[in-house]
Structure 1
Amino acid sequence: MTFALATCTYQEFTPSMGHAVRTTVGPPRGPLAYALAGHATLLAPRREMLGLSYGAYKPRYLQLLDSAGIDAIRAELEEIAVGLDTGQPLVLLCFDRLDKPGTWCHRSMAATWLQEHADIEVPELGAQQPAQPPSLFDL
């Protein structure tokens, strides 16, 4: 890919992070203080997947990405990046904050999938759960 990628929430994103890209089924909840560079529809889950448990959601979402394929996903992201400053990453956005215990999000699954299929790093720019201190058994 000729551009960098990262992930974040709509709520935590600021334009200094890069170019905002929607990856959600529905539009942002309320007005945004920034413009969206595009909508990565191939990275968006399907409406019928909303509300599924993690165990049911993850394999369906990964199958969705596998069905689209890395070439189509890359082409869609490259189309979004046309005319943008490629020194700034495309930041894949969704609603779920990752700093709450037990939370998960499709953008994290997409980031891992992209890292595996395109051999690129896709860092999370939003708040994340603090790392658990090692237990005495881990020392």
Structure 2
Amino acid sequence: MNPKLATCSYVEFRPGMGTPVRTTVGATRWPLPYQLGGHARLITPTRDLLKINAQDAYEWGYRRLLNGNGLENIRRELVAIAGANDLDSPLVLLCFDRLDRLTPPDDWCHRLHFAKWWSEQTGDEVPELGARRQPAPPTLFDV
């Protein structure tokens, strides 16, 4: 059985959303107003991946990491984190990026790549709970 998953940023997370889970290489540099339910190490990007600025190259490297760690191992880690917390509460995978503050071509982060990969592997959707960047309104040239 797969755990229920969602994603969000550290600053937008609220305890009613579920169990907060770290997915970042580094811990937060500020005190959190909530306690983390765990650290999903198998889906945490490496420091080398963080040096990649091109989305396609990053996604390729990150998917390579996820595939290398294996779906079953990742599932076991997430199930263990859920079991140590509230099984009925979704695990909310956290990272630093606020999606509504990112601009193209940098409007992506590893949690979105993980959500896409997980959905492809399991068929389970992983909703984003943080604010999303709003598309620009259509212009005269778009009509």
Q: Does 1:19 align with 2:23?
A: no
The letter for the 2-side match of 1:15 is P
CA distance in 2, matches of 1:108, 1:6: 10
Secondary structure class of the residue paired with 2:38: strand
Secondary structure of the structure 1 residue equivalent to 2:92 = strand
- 1:111 partnered with 2:115: yes
Pick which of 6-15 and 94-103 moved more: 94-103
How many angstroms does 1:118 deviate by? 1.2
Tell me, in whole angstroms, the C-alpha distance in 1 between the residues paired with 2:100 and 2:26. Answer: 22
Q: Who is 1:46 aligned against? A: 46
Q: How does 1:65-104 map to 2 (within 5 A)?
A: 65-100=66-101, 101-102=103-104, 103-104=107-108
Q: Which residue of 2 aligns with 1:58?
A: 59
Q: CA RMSD in A?
A: 1.7
The residue that corresponds to 2:32 in the other structure is 32
Structure 2 unaligned regions, length at least 5: none
Letter of the structure 2 residue corresponding to residue 73 of structure 1: I
1:5 partner letter: L
Q: Shift in Å at residue 84 of structure 1?
A: 2.3
Partner of 1:130: 134
Q: What is the deviation of 1:119?
A: 1.1
1:99-126 Cα offsets, whole Å, 9 max, x none, are: 1222210000000000110111100000
Cα distance 1:133–1:48, how it changes in 2: closer, same or farther (>3 A)? Answer: same
Say if 1:2 and 1:86, in contact at 8 Å, map to a contact too: no
- In the TM superposition, 1:2-17 aligns within 5 A as 2-17=2-17
Structure 2 length as normaliser, TM-score? 0.89
Q: Point out the more displaced range, 120-129 or 76-85.
A: 76-85
- Equivalenced residue count is 139
Q: Which amino acid in structure 1 is aligned with residue 37 of structure 2?
A: A
Give the secondary-structure state (helix, strand or coil) at the position aligned to 1:21.
strand
2: CA distance, partners of 1:117 / 1:132: 32
> Counterparts of 2:23 and 2:57 in 1: how far apart (Å)?
19
Q: Which runs of 4+ in 1 moved over 4 A?
A: 132-139
Unaligned runs of 5+ in 1: none
* TM-score, normalization by structure 1: 0.91
- Secondary structure of residue in 2 paired with 1:7: strand
Comparing 80-89 and 128-137, the one that deviates more: 128-137
